[in-house]
Chains A and B, each alone.
Chain A
Amino acid sequence: MMIGLILVIFLPFFLGVGLYIKSTLLLEDQSLIDLLFSSDWRPLAGKFGFLAFSVSSIWVTVLSLLIAGPICLLTAIHLTQYAKSWVLRIMHPVIDILAGIPSVIFGVWGILVIVPFISKYLAPFFGVNTSGYTILAGAIVLAVMIIPFVLNILIDVFKTIPDELKEASLSLGASQWQTIKLVLLRKAFPGIVSALGLGISRAFGETIAVLMVVGNVAKIPTGIFQPGYPLPALIANNYGEMLSIPLYDSALMLAALILFFVVLIFNFISRMAIVRLEKQTS
């Protein structure tokens, strides 16, 4: 029992250390700053600039939050403030099933539906010519994947707002919508930010689905209709070659380490905020 517990508690530590050890080979050779901010990615020449990948990751993540955020917020408000209870009862299994669908299935759906949609309808509408394998495709697929996750958190957050607070606002003459806008959202604001923070960390680390639709071209993307190459995709796509080129495996492990830290930090901050929120309301 105790061994299990120790394993569990120290797992994040082990993960970090393991990855770090593998990355040191590369870090001895080149400085971290150089690696992070160079866009020169030519492994055969020993050049491992991560910038294009970080930028792609940021693009895809931010865009997916921009799509998923409003949808989750609107739906959470609707389900907790307006809808009859049978609607919530149907939505729970829908959300749970959506949450359980594996990443690779989302990828297949992305290829079948989203990529053609972008290349045949959406991009031409904006006068752009593209194969559809774009940052936008990655963001849309990613958005659908994080919706159940963020939505569940938001529903929980809204449910913690006491009814009496809403009643107080209503009895002062506010309409239900005004109450939501001026009182509910204000009170729930820290919780909303946390939910989005957790959404970001989830989106940042998502690998397979995004990889399948995002194009995988190692250049800094300049628009949503361009292909991208997020950090997780980099790791997943190149594990085959990594042992044959010197320092390549170190570079990929470093990428995994960076991913690990970014996700961990976002997770940590968001969850700390939720813990403090729970302390406040109890």
Chain B
Amino acid sequence: MRKLKFIEEKFFRILMFISTNLIVILLLLIIFSILYKGLPSLSWAMISQTPKGGFYFGKEGGILNAIIGSLYLSIGATLLAVAIGLPVALLMNVILVKHKKLINAIRFILDLLWGIPSIVYGAFGFTIMIYFGIKTSLLAGIITVTLFIIPIMVRAMDEVLKTVNTGLLETSLSLGSTHSETAFKVFLRQASPGLVTAILLSFGRAIGDAASVLFTTGYTDHIPTSLGQPTATLPLSIFFQLSSPIEEVKNRAYASAVILTVIILIISVLARLYSKRYQKHKINF
């Protein structure tokens, strides 16, 4: 009887060991396969030129359109999301701090929003575009992606501000100049690593998402010169060019995949480093 129990435990422990390692192996496998396919296609020409002869058929050129386009879009959306989201997060944690029920309700709604798939935001963005007569453009993309990442941004910032002593901020707002400056500086030093992490993570989500830009941003070979022009993005660069029968076009897709993956990895590492700093400076009252 005891033997049986022992074997059962052993069996499951082996399964646990396998499944834990499986996850690590999967991550390595994914990164490796992307690099394997994409690195050979990565060259200076690839990242410094736009596609020549049309992105779907043209054999020449690179993915500069997507790189710049993605950067414009994601930075724009992130800035807009910070502009809207940071005040909301501050509002929740500084001014509304006494109304526990309201705050929990807001947090709950944010969690719900956070779970809504990006394609819903894309479809919604599309309806807004039609309603306001906006064409597929950088602007439409920025608006849609902003809506998509606001819940993520606010929730992440809220988590940070929840643990930082916002009493410092309150004091700084109500005291005389020297005291308020110091209190504000201390608050900033405590909160900023965590806030930076929140911004980085939101940026990562913004730049990697395809479904929200699919309907709204369009695609083009050119680098946009105004908000009203359609814009290429890295995710769509992969999505549209991957199924091309032309080898060179496919390679552009793989190269985009490498660039995107590398960007995400860098963001993850930076976010980790920053959140460690945040833990270090966190003063526990």
Q: What residues of chain A have their CB less than 8 Å away from a CB belonging to chain B?
A: 1-2, 4-5, 7-9, 11-12, 14-15, 18-19, 21-22, 70-71, 74-75, 77-79, 82-83, 87, 90-91, 93-98, 100-109, 111-113, 144, 147, 151, 175-178, 198, 201-202, 204-208, 212, 232, 235-236, 239, 252-253, 256, 259-260, 263-264, 267-268, 271, 275
Q: Is the CB of B5 within 8 A of A178?
A: yes
Cβ contact within 8 Å between B208 and A87: no
Establish whether residues B106 and A83, one from each chain, have CB atoms under 8 Å apart when the complex forms.
no
Q: Is the CB of A105 within 8 A of B120?
A: no
* Contact call A1/B116, Cβ cutoff below 8 A: no
Size class of the contact patch on chain B? 35 or more
In whole angstroms, how far apart are the Cα atoms of A112 and B118 in the complex? 24
Contacts of B267 in A (CB 8 A): 100
CB proximity to A under 8 Å, residues B226-268: 235, 238-239, 242, 253-254, 257, 260-261, 264-265, 267-268
Chain A, Cβ-Cβ closest to B26:
A144
- A95 to chain B: which residues have CB within 8 Å? 23
Q: Does B72 contact A (CB under 8 A)?
A: no
B84 close to chain A: CB less than 8 A: yes
Query: Is the pair A263, B115 in contact by a Cβ cutoff of 8 Å?
Result: yes
A-B residue pairs in contact (CB < 8 Å), sample of 13: A5-B91, A11-B113, A71-B19, A74-B16, A100-B204, A101-B261, A105-B261, A109-B30, A177-B5, A177-B9, A202-B115, A235-B123, A239-B214
- Who on chain B is nearest to A93 by CB? B272
**Judging by beta carbons under 8 Å apart, are A75 and B20 in contact?**
yes
Residue contact B123 to A5, C-beta cutoff 8 Å: no
Contacts of B205 in A (CB 8 A): 100
Whether B5 and A96, one on each chain, are in contact in the complex, defined by CB atoms closer than 8 angstroms, is no
Determine whether the beta carbon of B16 is less than 8 Å from that of A82.
yes
A15 touches B120 (CB 8 A): yes
Once A177-B8, A207-B119 are accepted as A-B contacts, the answer to whether A78 and B150 lie under 8 Å apart by CB is: no
* B85 CB–A CB distance under 8 Å: yes
Contact of B123 among A8, A74, A201, A256 (CB under 8 A): A256
Report whether B261 and A74 are in contact in the complex, using a CB–CB cutoff of 8 Å: no
Alpha-carbon distance A78/B20, docked complex (angstroms): 8
Asked if B37 is at the interface (CB within 8 A of a chain A CB), the reply is: yes
A271/B108 in contact, CB under 8 A: yes
Given contacts A78-B13, A100-B204, A104-B238, list 4 more A-B pairs with CB under 8 A: A91-B20, A94-B27, A109-B29, A260-B120
